[in-house]
Amino acid sequence: MTIDKLAFANRLRQFIISKNWKNKDLAEALGISQSSLQSNYLSGNSIPGAEILFNLEELGCDIIWLISGKDSRVLELEKRNKELELQVKDRDARIEKLHITIGQLIEKTEARLNKIKASKHIKEDEEDEETKARYERVRKKYPINLDEIKNSF
């Protein structure tokens, strides 16, 4: 990755303004001369080394922003957003699997219920036949004419 030196210089100027400093104030805080600050870093001729960058960070400058132009907080939020998107995709996949599993369970349960209903109908039919057979046995054993009984009252 190449660092745009002029963009770096512009962001360094923005940092100075945000602190309500003058170039001289930053140079003193960094322990360098004002002419060095101006000729090297504010002119866009070079990028400071690690020690100056560390000192800038100590002064409250977002070094990621200074170098790349991207706010480190925004980068952190973007990273967190990607993590959350992955979590949502994972959750959605698990939910889909649960829906499939629940659907399969519902289908199996319905199939079992249909079998139970079918066997219950068979049993009811068998019970009806059994009841009719019992009724016929009782009628044969005790022949009663229901019409005669009705008329007697």
Handedness of CA 27, 32, 36, 41 (dihedral sign): negative
Helix, strand and coil content of the chain, in percent to the nearest 5, comes to 80, 0, 20
**Fold of the domain built from segment(s) 5-70:** 434 Repressor (Amino-terminal Domain) (1.10.260)
Query: What radius of gyration do the chain's Cα atoms show?
Result: 45
The two three-digit tokens of residue 107, written as one number: 């289908």
Residue pLDDT, tens place only, 46-64: 999 999 999 999 999 999 9
Residue pLDDT, tens place only, 92-126: 888 777 777 776 767 777 777 777 767 766 565 66
* Mean pLDDT of all residues in 23-41: 95
Mean pLDDT highest for which of 28-32, 114-118, 138-142, 149-153? 28-32
Cα(31)–Cα(103) distance, integer angstroms: 71
Cα(91)–Cα(89) distance, integer angstroms: 5
Domain residue extents for the chain = 5-70
Q: Residue 24 — pLDDT band, cuts 50, 70, 90?
A: very high
* Mean pLDDT of all residues in 19-29: 96
